[in-house]
């Protein structure tokens, strides 16, 4: 498979060189691909669902002029290194006869952009609009899983669960910060499964930029997510890595040495040796719903690389008999192009998550989620 003159690892060719032709063979190939991403990119979590985990409800209130119930929850997890609390805010639409589908935002930005009290409102998390359209709006902040700084993996979930013995070094494939955040998204989904007002089989995980990378990795591993939305996720998110546009692996590993497994640094200026590329991450989401979004002024995230990656990932959707994007040609700005299971748009403007992006995500989800 070629992309801009570079040879990409085949999504549907297994490690022995066999072509994948059935869903059954794909299930096995899927396992291989997850393993490749764990080993070389995002690292391996040291825990799945923790044995000691409680979901505590701290308050329930009518909000949004009677249109929503706000539920504040805390996910409390215990491990060998101590205890950690993850606050989660949920708005459930009142006008909803059956359990509501939900959009779960992984918030990597300022708390004020996802204000549970709704004193400040923003297009980054338009909770009122989500509720109005019948969706539950759910959000958690990444810093409770792991602060976004290179602190030697002392705190957050690494500090609680890694359980390194005196003098023991972290493994080169140990999870980084993005892996910790993705783990958090799955724990929030655990909590939503216990919430009767929400249909946990219809949850879309959404992230912008670094949290867009996280949303993809979360949905790739956790097949309970019915939909993934990657907004401007760029390098090591949706965008193909074998290219010279925008952010490169060396840039991201230098600026954010804590995001990925130590092994990923072997691919600084050495993309050609990667045994994978990001279209394979998107392929892991098949046959579930997948929305990739870019912004016209966000060349750092390489919109063309994001779109091509989605087109290349659709081989996996084809195995399930789903239609695919007709052409590898960039769509016009502001137009959402959808197939049965995938969608893409490039919005006018800069690197951001806006109300317009959300409206397009909801338009797609309305008929499919
Ligand atoms: C940038 C980083 C990107 C993207 C972005 C963000 O500095 O290079 O990969 O994640 O931050 O999260 O806003």
pTM of the model: 0.98
What is the rounded CA–CA span in Å between residue 101 and residue 339?
Answer: 21
Q: How far is the CA of 220 from the centre of ligand 1 (A)?
A: 20
Closest ligand 1 atom to Cα of 255: 8
Q: Which residue has the tokens 């004020």?
A: 112
Active-site residue among 122, 299, 322, 351? 351
How does pLDDT run along the chain (369 residues), one tens digit per residue? Answer: 777 777 899 999 999 999 999 999 999 999 999 999 999 999 999 999 999 999 998 899 999 999 999 999 999 999 999 999 999 999 999 988 799 999 999 999 999 999 999 999 999 999 999 999 999 999 999 999 999 999 999 999 999 999 999 899 999 999 999 999 999 999 999 999 999 999 999 999 999 999 999 999 999 999 999 999 999 999 999 999 998 789 999 999 999 999 999 999 999 999 999 999 999 999 999 999 999 999 999 999 999 999 999 999 999 999 999 988 777 789 999 999 999 999 999 999 999 999 999 999 999 999 999
Closest ligand 1 atom to Cα of 251: 8
To test ligand 1's pocket by mutation, which of 124, 234, 236, 257 has the most ligand atoms within 8 angstroms of CB?
234
Three-state SS annotation for 153-214: CCCHHHHHHCCCCCCCCCCCCECCHHHHHHHHHHHHHHHHHCCCCEEEEEEEEEEECHHHHH
Q: How far is the CA of 27 from the centre of ligand 1 (A)?
A: 32
209 is catalytic: yes
Q: How far is the CA of 93 from the centre of ligand 1 (A)?
A: 32
351 is catalytic: yes
Residue 325: its pLDDT value, please?
78
Residue 170: its pLDDT value, please?
96
Q: How far is the CA of 210 from the centre of ligand 1 (A)?
A: 6
Cα→Cα distances 235→132, 134, 300, Å: 34, 33, 8
Closest ligand 1 atom to Cα of 247: 8
Q: How far is the CA of 196 from the centre of ligand 1 (A)?
A: 36
The answer to whether the bond into 287 is cis (omega within 30° of 0) is yes
**What residue ranges line ligand 1, CB within 6 angstroms?**
209-210, 234-235, 247, 252, 255
What DSSP state is assigned to residue 114? G
Closest ligand 1 atom to Cα of 232: 4
CB 170 within 8 A of CB 161: no
Strand pairing report for 136-141 and 198-208: unpaired
Residue 245: its pLDDT value, please?
86
To test ligand 1's pocket by mutation, which of 230, 300, 302, 305 has the most ligand atoms within 8 angstroms of CB?
300
What DSSP state is assigned to residue 111? G
To test ligand 1's pocket by mutation, which of 247, 258, 260 has the most ligand atoms within 8 angstroms of CB?
247
Cα→Cα distances 344→255, 333, 336, Å: 28, 11, 6
Q: How far is the CA of 166 from the centre of ligand 1 (A)?
A: 34
Residue nearest ligand 1's atom 10 by CA: 210
What DSSP state is assigned to residue 246? S
CB 27 within 8 A of CB 284: no
What DSSP state is assigned to residue 252? H
Active-site residue among 46, 186, 209, 294? 209
């Amino acid at each position: 498979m070629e992309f801009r003159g570079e040879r990409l690892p085949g999504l549907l060719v297994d490690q022995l060189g066999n072509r994948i032709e059935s869903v059954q063979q794909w299930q096995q190939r899927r396992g291989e691909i997850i393993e490749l991403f764990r080993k070389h990119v995002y690292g391996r979590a040291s825990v799945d669902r923790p044995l000691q985990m409680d979901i505590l409800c701290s308050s329930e209130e009518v909000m949004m002029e009677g249109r929503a119930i706000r539920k504040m929850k805390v996910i409390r997890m215990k491990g060998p290194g101590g205890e950690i609390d993850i606050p989660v805010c949920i708005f459930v639409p009142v006008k909803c006869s059956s359990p509501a589908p939900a959009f779960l935002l992984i918030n990597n930005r300022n708390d004020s952009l996802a204000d549970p009290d709704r004193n400040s409102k923003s297009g980054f998390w338009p909770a009122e609009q989500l509720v109005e359209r019948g969706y539950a709006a759910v959000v958690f902040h990444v810093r409770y899983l792991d602060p976004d700084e290179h602190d030697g993996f002392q705190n957050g979930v690494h500090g609680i669960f890694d359980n390194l013995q005196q003098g023991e070094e972290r493994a080169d494939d140990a999870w980084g910060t993005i892996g910790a955040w993705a783990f958090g998204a799955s724990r929030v989904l655990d909590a939503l499964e216990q919430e009767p007002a929400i249909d946990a089989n219809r949850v879309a995980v959404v992230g912008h930029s670094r949290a867009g990378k996280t949303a993809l990795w979360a949905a790739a591993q956790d097949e309970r997510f019915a939909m993934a939305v990657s907004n401007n996720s760029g390098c090591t998110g949706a965008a193909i890595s074998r290219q010279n546009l925008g952010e490169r692996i060396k840039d991201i590993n230098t600026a954010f040495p804590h995001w990925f497994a130590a092994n990923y640094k072997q691919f600084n200026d050495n993309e050609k040796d990667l045994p994978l590329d990001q279209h394979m991450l998107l392929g892991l989401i098949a046959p579930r719903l997948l929305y990739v979004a870019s912004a016209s002024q966000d060349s750092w995230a390489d919109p063309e690389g994001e779109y091509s990656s989605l087109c290349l990932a659709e081989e996996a959707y084809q195995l399930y008999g789903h239609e695919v994007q007709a052409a590898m040609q960039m769509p016009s700005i502001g137009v959402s192009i959808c197939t049965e299971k995938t969608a893409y748009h490039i919005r006018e403007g800069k690197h951001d998550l806006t109300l317009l992006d959300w409206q397009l995500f909801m338009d797609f989800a309305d008929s499919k989620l």
